[in-house]
Structure 1
């Protein structure tokens, strides 16, 4: 029997890294016990410090020294997050910054494929596609939105540390676009503030949204800013949701448009049906639906944030058949399911696009969609496990999983975006 004597926080141990796990940590074993290890790469041997050991089944650790390096290890793209710093002082937000970009994408593809297999029983090989310009820039200069925090005692500005809410002063923001770096107050004490959001819209001036100690809202968060997606302009609240990668809006717009074009060519899309854009934000993906099938499209975009709904109404104003509704998606779908059968039947011909938060649509919303039974569901996901769980629910409700694509819209982090197409059997 393996020796499972308790590890203690602070213990230093040598580990052989064997795999990658969801969440950007690698996997090792120590005396038969799983250890999740930060700042390592599968195939390496490292010396690590135990940071958490409360669970009998696993512990957590952080790499201190690489004893045998992977050929994919690179100098960290962010010096303030590098291995040479004390683990408690490593800046968060670039947990894959020590890994070659190609290997990062392979690890993300592995996590997505394993999640689909584990939670949904689906075998699917997926290639994680790079965003335009990222390979040439080594995955740097892509974040158009960055939140910094303010130390309440010193006024120092910086991101949180990788595994705590300790604020780490930094000299640069290498993942951010130039406009964000231009206005970032990295060397200026900002007393009496809680946080600073740095926004660099693609078609507007960079700006700071400031949260003071006594404020509930961020100053300037409701100001309208312009974002350009191809040749189409969108108005968005400065503090509202918008994809953070400079190329992400166009990448996802194009991916959704192309997925719906393929469904249309297969005779599965009815432009005049009760089509839906759920978790619709400012209307980006509803506009993609319209570009796919033409101006005759009827679509209702549903979003809980009233400001975003107002923006969607403006952004879709040229589309006669578009309606923007402020509502929680689960409550909106519950109302539809309570409607007369003649109303519900209109949705059986519809196409639904949804782009839920990182937690996914969830079992309740997925179940509601299954009961509503639209012809097609195009699901945009930013978490592979959430997508896999919702895939399992939809497969059990009579849907078939079609094409799955994945996009590296968060280089040097473990995050990705995926698009999955479901059709009712």
Structure 2
């Protein structure tokens, strides 16, 4: 009798342990690649930036020209208010790569070298099962920077909207993907076409018979932190007013998607969620103090994107915010921890941007990883240093091609136990 009871207890234990025994560690990552193009698109962009431009007195714009006082696109003054006949919704501006605040003209050989370095970096430092990209032109551009030209990956992307697009790549042996969908409401289609922003991109994966929904976003820029006046979501200016409009469609996606499966939400939020978490109490998430779990009253503004979207109602929509550690060295680790609660200007962030540290121009505060609270995350998320690969060096004697930064962002990575 004792033996039979022991056998039964052992069987119950084994059966109860079966789901855990089938748990699988999944490496996830997200990375903004900074106006990244395919090699074919880059060739055309390099050609167009190298063509001569001249000032047209009638339009007040620098336009492609073959006569008069001309200069190549590489030598023009770019920026948000550039007086140049050029549509950055279609192709990047010519000042993407700079050294000491001077534009570095790009060559085809340099762009190919950058793709090779990206392939090596992804393979050596990330090796992701799932990776989301921002600021990529499409699937071809992504495939060219994945190890072995992406032969082991499937890719979900699109070729509509503006050139700063999104992509999700996953290893073929992870599972099958479906419902690769552009989340158009995030682009704010009610705005004029020129003012519309980037949509989201969503995908459903079947992993070991279980569904997982992944979404990547690249939200409106220039409304980063509630710790500064221009970053106050309910009154920081035009950029914050646009980001304010993206809160509702983001929450709608989360609540609809998480009702039937866990979710992973990653990308460039252009918003410091840690600052929101640490400085805005629940009672102040909305301008009227109402509960963020309740419907948003007409005319009421949101002060915390994180608090409004991640209100835990319904319970299945609750998210974990994976705040990355910067493990490259003790100084970087300390600065990264402080930056989650303090507002740092560019000068204070300089130690993180150096080649011996993280190396990227935008090291912290913009890129975010959130996963369903039902998922297990055994280890801290990591901000991965790109070091010397974050800097651009111009061509010179003995090296006719420049060396291009692989990105102005550092990737983030984490492990899910799924």
Same fold by TM (over 0.5)?
Answer: no
TM-score band w.r.t. shorter chain: under 0.3
**TM-score, normalised to structure 1's length?**
0.28
Which has the larger share of strand? 1
